[in-house]
Structure 1
């Protein structure tokens, strides 16, 4: 009588080839599920998450100023107020200058825009593909109907709500920034208190790397953006393009979005020049923007950014896409520095000079230990 077949134990089922694949698949599913839950929670709490991230980036950028003041025995509270008030004064002054420039040149821009639209209509009626006046009138009426429709009113109300959220986010960002500047190091040390000395040292490395990366990125990008804005703004002013100062401010703001920000700013400046000054001036504006962007890519970025942002362009594009989907324009602004922080943390996880090393699973080590010694031939013995 044949002996009953022995059933494999649970350990054997989990440690054979199929079992290891199944365990890995289950681990991947659990990790993806947890990541989806975390992303969903962050999206739902973006009114809090985005101000925290923005305040962290700004605090990292102001960290050298705070350190310089404290090294000169300036009290912590006074150093925080000096940094915060100085930054708000610079930002408020820039916004004031932009508003004054827009108000002074708004009438000229409206007149130029009206003339440009009339020229465009004449070209559409008499160009290579003439369009009947009735068709233009129907497009105009469709636009008027949309503006006066209930959908546009609902969109306007949603826009008012969005403006309220933006104002609340700005106020919350300023408050969080104040506490990060004042007690950021103390907060991080408090969070690391429950950990062992080894893990606490790793936490300090992560904290220093985060501040260094975010601060270097912010300061470097600000310098590059300022050079771009000044160069393009001077070119627009010499060419007599209206709203040269506001357009330069837009160039400065969009320069914080890698790869695509400069292109969008250049298109906007060229469109304003086309409407207000004609196609020749618009072409010159395009040439100026291309020359400034070339100077930025070949000289400023490698020198100023240094080690702050060493990411492949594909990684930057993916980070921009993910940030835009999750957080809109603000997400696009902060996605790339966050990706750079993640990569630099991986590089210093074990030590500044050691890359991250993952331990081999226990069952792999046991299999290797059970390997037998190779059999030698009798003739090899002495």
Structure 2
């Protein structure tokens, strides 16, 4: 007998095979769409950076102040009074730091000039001695080369900052945008988020809501922790500089505080600055002591403060932090370095929450209806950090 093939057997399609060619093609066009959207977003951010950067600054400030405003409102403060008090205290702290640095610099400038000349003479005299035997001509050539290198790198480093506001008018306009955006985010953050949520189809709103809640929680945790970490770093390294008798100990602490808002990279740069000042103005022994103080403060941050304060709220791998800061610096200079890590943390939290949003029950509005079957278009769940 001749055996004929069984034509009734089902034919397995490639697209239904997990990991097959069909699945690969489906994922390919999805990734291409995502990459195109990401490129469009980056292009729009670069074009409208004078608006985007102040809005991002306002978002960080609102994330910092919103828990305090909410706490005052829970204690029966009027919302406008709570917002005004938090904004005034925040502005007073910033102005106090600026005035403190200006006062310290003006008071210590004569000593700094005297010690700078003395340190320069000591370094030149030491290099003339064996085993260095550096001639004056070689030393002057090194100084000129170092100045040209510093000028080249500094222009690349602050290029992003100059792109944010190349004139005083741009800086003032950005500051006004940031101030007004912060005020409106604190006043009606819930309304803003409800408007954003309505832009998406109703079937996708639960996922958007879950991602927004996770992203806002991550952002508030990140800002709170970075403020505390920066304060501890600035105070700790500033005290080490003060006890070593270094000039401008308070400005050193403020520099460390500001650089600490750029995770990992900021700590390295500020530590190098502090150790370099100790080496130039005090000597190698004091520089070693300053290095030990910097390492002690950062070890305290990494092994005590970060685990206790952050916990599992901000889940970003250190390698992702370094790569993100480097990429942000290359794309947007100083603003890119500042916003790279919060962007990565928030994006990671939002994507994870949106992927697992199907495990959450559908939210219920004030009428007892779920979001999947609302009676009115305006029925949208509360935003993260809302009213």
TM range (shorter): 0.7 to 0.9
Q: 1:75 to 1:201 in 2, by over 3 A?
A: farther
Contact 1:209 1:345 (8 Å CA) reproduced: yes
Alignment of 1:162-241 (within 5 A): 162=166, 164=168, 165-193=170-198, 195=200, 198-241=203-246
Coordinate RMSD, CA, aligned: 3.1
Q: Secondary structure at the match of 2:198?
A: coil
Alignment of 1:101-180 (within 5 A): 101-137=104-140, 162=166, 164=168, 165-180=170-185
Shift of 1:268: 0.5
Q: Secondary structure at the match of 2:315?
A: coil
Contact 1:14 1:20 (8 Å CA) reproduced: yes
Alpha-carbon distance in structure 2 between the residues aligned to 1:201 and 1:21: 28
Shift of 1:281: 1.0
1:93 matched to 2:96? The reply is yes
Alpha-carbon distance in structure 1 between the residues aligned to 2:144 and 2:346: 51
Q: Secondary structure at the match of 2:76?
A: coil
Alpha-carbon distance in structure 2 between the residues aligned to 1:120 and 1:130: 12
Contact 2:265 2:322 (8 Å CA) reproduced: no
Q: 1:74 to 1:141 in 2, by over 3 A?
A: closer
Question: Runs of 5+ in structure 1 lacking a partner?
Answer: 1-11, 356-382
Q: Secondary structure at the match of 2:132?
A: coil
Q: Normalising by the residue count of structure 1, what TM-score does the alignment of the two structures yield?
A: 0.78
Q: 1:317 to 1:126 in 2, by over 3 A?
A: same
Contact 1:221 1:305 (8 Å CA) reproduced: no
1:78 matched to 2:81? The reply is yes
Alpha-carbon distance in structure 1 between the residues aligned to 2:182 and 2:38: 27
Matched residue, 1:379: none
Q: Secondary structure at the match of 2:354?
A: coil
Q: 1:92 to 1:353 in 2, by over 3 A?
A: farther
Q: 1:119 to 1:159 in 2, by over 3 A?
A: farther
Question: Runs of 5+ in structure 2 lacking a partner?
Answer: 1-12, 361-387
Which structure: larger Rg? 1
Contact 1:224 1:304 (8 Å CA) reproduced: no
Deviation string for 1:52-104 (max 9, x for gaps)?
11211221121111112222333333322222111111111111111111111
Alpha-carbon distance in structure 1 between the residues aligned to 2:28 and 2:335: 35
Q: 1:145 to 1:92 in 2, by over 3 A?
A: closer
Q: Secondary structure at the match of 1:348?
A: helix
Moved more, 130-139 or 325-334: 130-139
Alpha-carbon distance in structure 1 between the residues aligned to 2:106 and 2:273: 19
Equivalent of 1:278, from 277, 280, 283? 283
Moved more, 315-324 or 285-294: 315-324
Matched residue, 2:68: 65
Alpha-carbon distance in structure 2 between the residues aligned to 1:19 and 1:202: 27
Q: Normalising by the residue count of structure 2, what TM-score does the alignment of the two structures yield?
A: 0.77
Q: 1:268 to 1:353 in 2, by over 3 A?
A: farther
Matched residue, 1:374: none
Contact 1:58 1:215 (8 Å CA) reproduced: no
Alpha-carbon distance in structure 2 between the residues aligned to 1:144 and 1:90: 35
Alpha-carbon distance in structure 1 between the residues aligned to 2:258 and 2:147: 32
Q: 1:171 to 1:195 in 2, by over 3 A?
A: closer
Deviation string for 1:191-243 (max 9, x for gaps)?
22355655333333233222211111111121122112112111111111111
Equivalent of 1:296, from 275, 298, 301? 301
1:315 matched to 2:336? The reply is no
Alpha-carbon distance in structure 2 between the residues aligned to 1:291 and 1:257: 19
Equivalent of 1:327, from 302, 326, 332? 332
Alpha-carbon distance in structure 1 between the residues aligned to 2:148 and 2:278: 30
